[in-house]
Amino acid sequence: MCDIRKKKKDLRKKIKKLKKDITDQKREVLSNSLMEKIENLDQFKKSKTIFIFWSMDDEVDTRGFIKKHLGKKRFILPSIKGNDLILKPLDSLDQLIDGEQFNIPEPNSEPLKNLDAIDLAIIPGVAFDIKGNRMGRGRGFYDRILNLLPKTTEKIGICYQCQIVEDLPVESFDIPMDTVIYS
């Protein structure tokens, strides 16, 4: 195994253990605090169309945030199809169905054809470093889709403080964030 891939694999294991130590109650407090920080950003206030994820249990909880702003902002959520992320608009919570992989809810809507409207992307990660580099779960879903977004799209990584490291191993295909917000 390549040295950089081994470092990433080891770091994923380490972060997974650290995140397990966060209680449900603490996770809720941290998630609410973090999403409040997002709400106070000019980038959020000015944005119309936001690419965001429906959180898994070990991630910063975005579900309440989406519910709160649905109708005021246009949300685009990922749908996993094979080895690709397909972006789909979420117009109503009634559209959510269990996804094919990981049972992550996703919109039952037609894929977004034009990514140019996305002005803000709120992105999960296993770890981020202080330079904005991101490490995902290892399948490259987000790196491939972030590469297709307009250069003007503001990319914000969100995570818990235990997911911030000083320096991540980076590969040529890794897409950095413009900002990383943690709680």
What is the tens place of the pLDDT at every residue in 69-81? 999 999 999 998 8
Question: To which H or E segment does residue 128 belong?
Answer: strand 127-129
Fold of 1-182: Rossmann fold (3.40.50)
Give the model's pLDDT for residue 66: 99
DSSP state of 41: S
Which are the contacts of 114, defined by CB distance < 8 A and separation ≥ 6? none
DSSP state of 78: E
pLDDT confidence bin for 153, thresholds 50/70/90: very high
Has residue 103 got a pLDDT over 90?
Answer: no
